[in-house]
């Protein structure tokens, strides 16, 4: 016989002579709901000191795509038949082909925005409104966001500079890598541009040519730009997480007063290192650092003091760090070589090059990530590849394992505000991961 009784001095309940705790009485789904409720309460408490930070963002993952009726055409009240400017076109030729005179073009140049007509580039678009034989309105479209309109009034031509601001919609994406970051990113609905941004953010910690493993995963919140209800581009990655070989890396974008954004760990350390882990994007390691390697052409034991990245001829090579060019020329079996000096202790060498980057010569300063050369097969090379060496105080180090120094952490005066903001952003990212997890159960 089953019996129930509330105890007089205990929080438990008796069933079949057994005291049951509250945990055993409540269904598992109730505990999950309770946990999520606590999570959102904590998020609300953290949100209070950073409310102003978040008010300027458009948090709209599952919301409909924004629609806007404010287009360049509606501002002027005209509909335009726009034509693309081809290489070699001039405005004088375009006016003439539409039966208009150089005098009308001259009158447009005398308006407030007439100087904009001095710079016509292939890919710009132009439109004409002609009544009879006379020009009534003219439109120069520099991009889908910027245009100039010229209209005839009773007192002559007037001009207007039109700038459209796209709607920013925040989007969540996640994926698990089966073969490559690119393929997994495309499957997750990300554009090539966003995938490259993700790789750049974590490029100081993860070598995407060597470190990627099947089962690695990523998640991120990023912006998409919409105009007239259509996607027109991508914005910034706001927060991202990458799990690689058991290590988890998290990056949060934080902007200063001028709108310049950088990525930091949730603790405020810069994601940016003094050096890139790899000077080329998404290539294959063909030969690792090995001081007892047998040379593939000479067939002799010759120390391999760097890493070889197999890549197509002409693949861009980036400067691993800020520095100065101290050598750009030929050096024996290395073929065409570039050597950069980074401060007093570090230097990097790039060999078997096809060509140097524009303006790269001895004495010139370069910035981290700048294209300084292109992959080739000059010198003793069995095929196109980059030979990359990393030196510390003149001694070669393995570029794949050497510990890279961090850039400056977040400014102390901004750290407290950043910590609060980072907690919110990470929690928002995790709320999507938890939501997807429970939806799949």
193 SS3 class: helix
C-alpha 197/C-alpha 305 separation (Å) is: 30
Picking from 351, 364, 361, the residue whose alpha carbon sits closest to that of residue 324 is: 364
Whether 100 contacts 129, CB under 8 Å: no
pTM above 0.95, yes or no: no
- Which stretches within 118-270 are classed as H helix? 181-187, 192-202
C-alpha 219/C-alpha 174 separation (Å) is: 4
pLDDT, residue 284, reads 55
Q: Residue holding tokens 């060509």?
A: 355
pLDDT, residue 441, reads 52
Picking from 297, 373, 286, the residue whose alpha carbon sits closest to that of residue 333 is: 297
Structure tokens at 184: 């997994």
Structure tokens at 30: 């109730």
pLDDT, residue 80, reads 78
C-alpha 424/C-alpha 46 separation (Å) is: 7
Structure tokens at 89: 């076109």
C-alpha 84/C-alpha 120 separation (Å) is: 11
User: So where are the chain's domains?
Assistant: 4-48, 57-62+168-272+410-441, 72-163, 284-397
Burial level of 169, CB count in 10 A (0-12/13-18/19+)?
buried
Structure tokens at 112: 């407030």
304 SS3 class: strand
Q: Residue holding tokens 């003793």?
A: 380
Q: Look up residue 293 and give its DSSP letter.
A: P
Picking from 176, 106, 170, 164, the residue whose alpha carbon sits closest to that of residue 135 is: 106
CATH code at 284-397: 2.70.70.10
Structure tokens at 313: 């001829």
C-alpha 38/C-alpha 33 separation (Å) is: 9
> Residue 152's beta-bridge partner residues?
157
C-alpha 384/C-alpha 373 separation (Å) is: 13
pLDDT, residue 147, reads 93
The widest CA-to-CA distance across the chain, in whole angstroms, is: 106
Whether 349 contacts 277, CB under 8 Å: no
Burial level of 200, CB count in 10 A (0-12/13-18/19+)?
middle
- Packing angle of the helix pair 28-47, 412-439 (nearest 10 deg): 160
Query: What strands lie across the sheet with 146-153, from one edge to the other?
Result: 83-84, 125-131, 134-141, 146-153, 156-163
| Phi-psi domain of 314 (left: phi exceeds 0; alpha: psi -120 through 50; beta: other) | left
Picking from 321, 366, 328, 319, the residue whose alpha carbon sits closest to that of residue 346 is: 321
Neighbours of 350 (CB within 10 A): 28
- What does R_g of the chain's alpha carbons equal in angstroms? 30
Handedness of CA 59, 61, 64, 65 (dihedral sign): positive
Whether 318 contacts 374, CB under 8 Å: no
Whether 323 contacts 372, CB under 8 Å: no
One pLDDT digit (tens) per residue for the chain, 441 residues: 444 444 444 444 444 555 545 545 556 666 666 666 666 565 555 544 444 444 434 343 333 444 433 344 544 556 777 889 999 999 999 999 888 988 999 999 999 999 999 889 999 999 999 888 889 999 999 988 899 999 999 899 999 999 999 999 999 999 999 888 889 999 999 999 999 999 889 988 887 766 788 899 999 999 999 988 889 999 999 999 999 988 999 999 999 888 889 999 999 999 988 888 888 876 655 444 344 444 444 444 445 577 888 888 999 999 999 999 999 999 988 999 999 999 888 999 999 999 999 999 999 999 999 999 999 999 988 789 899 999 988 888 888 878 887 788 999 999 999 999 999 999 999 988 766 544 555
CATH topology (fold) of 72-163: Nuclear Transport Factor 2; Chain: A, (3.10.450)
> Which stretches of 42-189 are assigned E, i.e. beta strand?
83-84, 125-131, 134-141, 146-153, 156-163, 167-176
C-alpha 215/C-alpha 440 separation (Å) is: 18
Handedness of CA 316, 320, 326, 330 (dihedral sign): negative
Instruction: Assess whether the region 57-62+168-272+410-441 and the region 72-163 belong to the same CATH fold.
Output: yes
Q: Under 8 Å CB-to-CB from 376, ≥6 apart: which residues?
A: 313, 314, 335, 336, 352, 353, 354, 355, 384
User: Which CATH number fits the domain 57-62+168-272+410-441, given the four candidates 2.40.160.10, 3.10.310.30, 3.10.450.350, 2.40.50.660?
Assistant: 3.10.450.350
C-alpha 247/C-alpha 211 separation (Å) is: 11
């Amino acid at each position: 016989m089953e019996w129930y009784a509330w105890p007089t001095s205990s929080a438990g309940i008796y069933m079949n002579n057994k005291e049951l705790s509250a945990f055993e009485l409540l269904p598992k789904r109730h505990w999950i709901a309770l946990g999520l409720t606590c999570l959102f309460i904590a998020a609300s408490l953290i949100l209070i000191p950073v409310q102003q930070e978040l008010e300027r963002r458009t948090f709209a993952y599952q919301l409909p795509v924004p629609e806007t009726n404010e287009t360049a055409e509606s501002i002027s009240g005209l509909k335009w038949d726009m034509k693309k400017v081809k290489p070699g076109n001039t405005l004088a030729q375009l006016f003439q082909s539409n039966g208009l005179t150089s005098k009308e073009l001259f009158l447009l140049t005398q308006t407030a925005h007439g100087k904009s007509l001095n710079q016509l580039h292939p890919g710009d678009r132009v439109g004409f409104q002609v009544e009879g034989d006379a020009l009534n309105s003219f439109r120069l479209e520099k991009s889908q966001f910027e245009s100039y309109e010229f209209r005839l009034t009773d007192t002559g031509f007037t001009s207007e500079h039109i700038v459209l601001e796209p709607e920013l919609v925040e989007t969540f994406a996640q994926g698990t890598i089966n073969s490559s970051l690119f393929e997994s990113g495309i499957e997750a609905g990300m554009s090539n541009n966003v995938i490259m941004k993700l790789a750049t953010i974590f490029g100081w910690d993860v070598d995407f040519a060597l470190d990627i493993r099947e089962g690695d995963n990523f998640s991120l919140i990023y912006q998409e730009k919409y105009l007239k209800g259509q996607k027109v581009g991508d914005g910034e990655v706001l927060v991202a997480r990458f799990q690689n070989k058991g290590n988890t890396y998290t990056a949060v974008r934080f902007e200063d007063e001028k709108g310049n954004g950088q990525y930091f760990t949730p603790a405020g350390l810069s994601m940016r290192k003094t050096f890139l882990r790899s000077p080329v994007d998404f290539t294959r390691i063909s030969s690792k650092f090995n001081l007892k390697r047998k040379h593939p052409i000479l067939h002799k034991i010759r120390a391999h003091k760097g890493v070889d990245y197999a890549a197509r001829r002409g693949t861009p090579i980036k400067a691993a760090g800020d520095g100065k060019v101290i050598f750009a020329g030929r050096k024996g079996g290395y073929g065409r070589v570039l050597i950069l000096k980074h401060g007093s202790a570090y230097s990097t060498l790039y060999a078997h090059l096809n060509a140097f980057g524009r303006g790269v010569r001895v004495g010139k300063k370069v910035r981290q990530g700048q294209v300084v050369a292109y992959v080739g097969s000059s010198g003793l090379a069995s095929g196109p590849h980059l030979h990359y060496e990393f030196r510390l105080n003149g001694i070669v180090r393995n570029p794949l394992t050497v510990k890279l120094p961090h850039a400056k952490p977040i400014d102390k005066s901004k750290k407290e505000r950043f910590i609060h903001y980072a907690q919110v952003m990470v929690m928002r990212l995790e709320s999507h991961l938890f939501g997807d997890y429970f939806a799949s159960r």
